Amino acid sequence: MSNKPLNVGLVGGGKGAFIVNPHQKAIHFDGTRRVVAGALFPDPKIALEEAANWPYPIRGYGSYDDMIAANKSLPEDQKLDYILIVTPNFVHFDPAMKAMKAGIPVFCEKPLCLNMKEAKALVSTAHKLNIPFGVAHTYVGHWTSRLSRYIVRSGLIGDVRWVDSYYIQGWLATKLEATGQQQAAWRVDPKRAGGSGCGGDIGTHALMQLRFVTGLEISELSAQLETFVEGRQLDDHFTIYCKLNNGGRALVRASQICIGHKNDLGITIAGTKGTLEWKQENPECLTIHLPNQPDRVYWRGAVAPGDGFLPKDVPADLMAEPTIPSGHPEAFHDAFARLHRCFEADVRKWKAGEKFNCDGSKYANVEDGLTGIAFLETCLKSAKSNGKRTRFSKI
């Protein structure tokens, strides 16, 4: 297999943008991927200026249409191997669709798009063209999320009875958007963010964490979408009580008005034999509570299968995933890097004409993206009827 680094093109990321930064670091993390091009800003002149000022040389384009069109006539070794979409939510669907149709795999920020019509079109196109498509649900990239998934899905804490999956922030506790703050401005605008503000922005991460770790799906929900900051058009507080498809119950909750909470995403899973707890602000360990026993704290890189809780046969590929020994902390950038690393593996298989996974076990895929949008639409429906219990549907 060629060891030539994969070429990545950015859609978005100019002028004070946020999430492009961890992504571009993560792309370069292993030396096997690199950013080579970008359509960084909606205004073509600024987009080209931003590309010229990028910290390392990249090909700048005035628009993603130009970047995708130009790809066709580039020499083979300069063609894009995938694009990364880091624009506000309303600029996900169009570049994703156009890239896939031009034969370029897509790694797209969450939420996948604005509505179910778009989500279904993306899923059916990705399937029809059999092309890799990843969605950037960051927190499933932590090694401890992978270990949590293994523990829960192997039944080590028994049948899941209750899940509390949360993402609590405080940065929108005041009307920050009125100051023109870039990230706040589009997140509270229904045209650019979608039908739910806080739910779309961070509630979808809490949902993904629940689904990734437990393997369970929501079957029914009752939603309260609240707006505490006066004059704001979208919810800034999102509380969803859910029935799970195994009969268990869950709370998927998110808030952006809780002063003091910074990026407080975490999950508690209570099973019939024990409880698992994990928090992304302390992502190097997870805690297992078992009845009448001292708590067990599992640290990334310091796990010993066959210890009386973990069986001897913890999968070798899971044990091989940490990048550095325990005590040398991995965090947010490492989680992003793990997602890009796994996506790269699928892109390389796809390029070689081999079967690729893209099955949601290493990073969220386009179907996970659709499930997030279906969840938001069901929540909006339930909230409109004051939290009426509503069957969760992807139709």
Ligand X SMILES: NC(=O)c1ccc[n+]([C@@H]2O[C@H](COP(=O)([O-])OP(=O)(O)OC[C@H]3O[C@@H](n4cnc5c(N)ncnc54)[C@H](O)[C@@H]3O)[C@@H](O)[C@H]2O)c1
Range in contact with ligand X (rule: CB under 6 A) among 65-73, 181-189, 239-247, 375-383: 181-189
Q: Minimum distance between the CB of residue 64 and ligand X, rounded to whole angstroms?
A: 6
* CA dihedral sign, ordered 331, 111, 129, 211: positive
Q: How many CA atoms lie within 13 A of 382 on its CB side?
A: 25
Q: Taking the complex as a whole, how short is the minimal distance between the CB of residue 249 and ligand X, in angstroms?
A: 27
Nearest distance from C-beta of residue 138 to ligand X, angstroms: 4
| Closer of 244 and 267 to ligand X (Cβ) | 267
Site membership for ligand X, residue 138 (CB under 6 A): yes
Q: Which two tokens stand for residue 109?
A: 């920020």
Pick one of 181, 183, 268, 287: the residue that binds ligand X (CB under 6 A): 183
- Mapped onto helix, strand or coil, the DSSP state of residue 296 is strand
Determine whether 272 is exposed, middle or buried from the number of CB atoms within 10 Å of its CB (0-12, 13-18, 19+): exposed
Binders of ligand X among residues 61 to 90 (CB under 6 A) are 64, 86-89
Query: Nearest approach, Cβ of 347 to ligand X (angstroms)?
Result: 19
Tell me if 145 contacts ligand X by CB under 6 A.
no
Least distance from ligand X to the Cβ atom of residue 205, Å: 7
Check binding of 91 to ligand X (CB under 6 A). yes
Instruction: Name, in order, each residue with C-beta under 8 angstroms of 322's C-beta and a sequence gap of 6 or more.
Output: 143, 300, 301, 330
Q: Residue 89 contacts by C-beta under 8 Å, 6 or more apart in sequence?
A: 109, 111, 113, 114, 186, 192, 193, 194, 200
Question: CA 154 → CA 268, 271, 306, distances in Å?
Answer: 17, 12, 14
Stretch that binds ligand X, among 39-47, 68-76, 147-155, 294-302 (CB under 6 A): 39-47
Site for ligand X in 239-258 (CB under 6 A): none
Select the span of 6-14, 118-126, 165-173, 374-382 touching ligand X (CB under 6 A).
Answer: 6-14
Instruction: Confirm if 267 and 209 have CB atoms less than 8 A apart.
Output: yes
- In the complex, minimum distance from the CB of residue 33 to ligand X, in angstroms, rounded to a whole number: 17
Question: Smallest gap, in angstroms, from Cβ of residue 84 to ligand X?
Answer: 10
Dist. CA 87–CA 275, nearest whole Å: 38
CA distances from 24 to 11, 70, 336 (A): 12, 22, 9
182 near ligand X (CB under 6 A): yes
The residue within the footprint of ligand X, chosen from 37, 41, 113, 203 (CB under 6 A), is: 41
3-class state of residue 220 by DSSP: strand
Chain residues in the site for ligand X (CB under 6 A) = 11-15, 17-19, 39-42, 64, 86-89, 91, 109-110, 136, 138, 182-183, 186, 201
